[in-house]
Amino acid sequence: MTLPDKKISREPKELVADWQSLIRTFIKPENEASRNTLLKYMEPILFGLHSFLNKHVGITEEVSLKILAEKYKSTRISANPEQKLADVITGLIEDIAPHAVNVASPYFVGHMTSAIPFFMVHLKTIVAALNQNVVKVETSKVVSVVEKQVLAKLHRLIFKRDENFYEEHVQNPNTTLGCFTDGGTLANTTALWVARNTAFPATEGFEGIETEGLAAAYDKYKVHRSVILVSRLGHYSLKKAAGLLGLGNKNLIPVDVDHKNRINLKLLNQIIKDIENEKGRTKILAVVGIAGTTETGAVDPLPRLAEICKENKIHFHVDAAWGGPTLMSEKYGKLLTGIEQADSVTIDGHKQFYMPMTCGMVYFKDPTKMEYIAYHSRYVNRPGSVDLGIKSLSGSREANSLILDSTLKIMGSRGYGLLIEHGIETAKQFAREIGRRPLFEVISRPELNIFTYRVCPPEIQ
């Protein structure tokens, strides 16, 4: 691949690390030369990637991972620079990009990763250039208050609280509506972390599970084990969370599904009843409902799950990492009815908000719930501050909120609604087309914009 109208010399020259050269690599906004340098290199990057996306739209020449791996075996870091920036950029575009996966290709339909709007590249560049660390106000300032506003916007979309509620909490330093994470795995883990700590709070003679640990909590509350209940189609991140939180993988209890791949309520109720018969020796930390399963796109019966959790005083978490943005659609948003009754909700920005990798979010109906996971230190996140890192599993973190905030302004809820509606209707049309072909069999019908099918000749159907 060659860059349009650009001839970048790749003749080997001896490069030496020196102080003046290093200083020039850092961004200096007040320096006109730095500005021109940024523009100089951004153009070949954008043109080169545009060329890649245009050329590699279908099935490309297969190069095995084994062959590619042979090219990348060196483990030594050279003392002096090996290449100039121009050469590195050319290498990325000519050597890496052609062997990357073109997720924008119309042939790429089997995964949740997809094309992103072109302006995401510009927004990501701004975020990188600003390099704000949202763990603390001292390293982010206005970004911290923008993040609280964006969290409130999505909280409102999910939970639909009244105007007075958001007036009180949108910039309240003492309450938290949610937090950004590095993806759905950390979002789910955060929700279940809060559920665990809420289930074993501090009481007389006990400082809480977060301080004293699982064994002490079980001893204090006379509990033998604690469990999480979820459909057997639950995301594997929930199993990770159970391990990280000390519960053990086997205490994430999978519940079978019905003919529509939704959690079987009869079986769920029976499991809860059986646990009740253990006379308190097992504590149910949470029931997880799924709004868009990874495998089939199914949405669990959220209103009924909410009722069951309320009746049994169980934390109700909804994993809407995939399906959450469906709330933007006037036509299909009702598929997620009941999500507003959840105690916590996970949504991924890098899925159907079409943000770059990676962005997750977790939201809590009760703005005081995240106090159960608050951490302070003398040098960062001091008590009484408005630092967002106080109630977050992540420490240092980039300003993904700026990207989501900007995107909501550019797209609007109706714009996202149109994308959601197009995706669902295209999936239905695709399923009908597959159903008309004798060599294929549709396994699950699309409820959102995911469905499954297989090759199955008529003679073995």
Lowest mean pLDDT among 35-49, 58-72, 188-202, 295-309: 35-49
Structure confidence at residue 3 (pLDDT): 46
Predicted confidence (pLDDT) per residue in 397-449, tens digit: 999 999 999 999 999 999 999 999 999 999 999 999 999 999 999 999 999 99
Give the pLDDT band (50/70/90) at residue 1: very low
The average confidence (pLDDT) of the chain is: 91
Per the listing, tokens 């308190």 go with 280
Give the pLDDT band (50/70/90) at residue 31: low
Predicted confidence (pLDDT) per residue in 86-125, tens digit: 888 888 888 888 888 888 888 888 899 988 998 998 999 9
Alpha-carbon distances of 355 from 110, 274, 350, 401, rounded to whole Å: 18, 43, 4, 11
Please give the residue that has the higher pLDDT: either 81 or 349. Answer: 349
Task: Give dist(CA 302, CA 447) in Å, integer.
Answer: 14
Proportion of the chain above pLDDT 90, given as a percent: 72
Q: Mention every residue, 6+ apart, whose C-beta is less than 8 A from residue 250.
A: none
Give the pLDDT band (50/70/90) at residue 382: low
Structure confidence at residue 64 (pLDDT): 85
Domain 129-407 has CATH 3.30.70.980: no
Please give the residue that has the higher pLDDT: either 5 or 256. Answer: 256
Is the pLDDT reported for residue 60 higher than 80?
A: no
Structure confidence at residue 458 (pLDDT): 82
What torsion, rounded to 10 degrees, do the Cα atoms 230, 234, 240, 243 define?
20
**From the CA atom positions of the chain, what is the Rg in Å?**
25
Proportion of the chain above pLDDT 70, given as a percent: 92
Structure confidence at residue 94 (pLDDT): 84
Predicted confidence (pLDDT) per residue in 213-236, tens digit: 999 999 999 999 999 999 999 999
Tokens of 124: 């990501």
Predicted confidence (pLDDT) per residue in 134-182, tens digit: 999 999 999 999 999 999 999 999 999 999 999 999 999 999 999 999 9
Instruction: Decide: 325 and 361 in contact? Cβ < 8 Å.
Output: no
What does the pLDDT average to over 386-400? 93
Is the pLDDT reported for residue 372 higher than 70?
A: yes
Tokens of 223: 């509990």
Q: Nearest 5°: phi and psi at 378?
A: -70, -30
Is the pLDDT reported for residue 259 higher than 80?
A: yes
Structure confidence at residue 375 (pLDDT): 92
Do β-strands 344-348 and 315-319 pair in parallel, antiparallel, or remain unpaired?
parallel
Alpha-carbon distances of 94 from 8, 12, 59, 443, rounded to whole Å: 12, 17, 18, 40
Give the pLDDT band (50/70/90) at residue 11: low
DSSP string, 380-399: SS-TT---GGGG-S-SS---
- Among 33-47, 88-102, 198-212, the range of highest mean pLDDT: 198-212
Lowest mean pLDDT among 12-26, 183-197, 258-272, 274-288: 12-26
Q: At what angle do helices 142-159 and 400-435 cross, to 10 degrees?
A: 40
Is the pLDDT reported for residue 13 higher than 70?
A: no
- Residue 200 amino acid letter: F
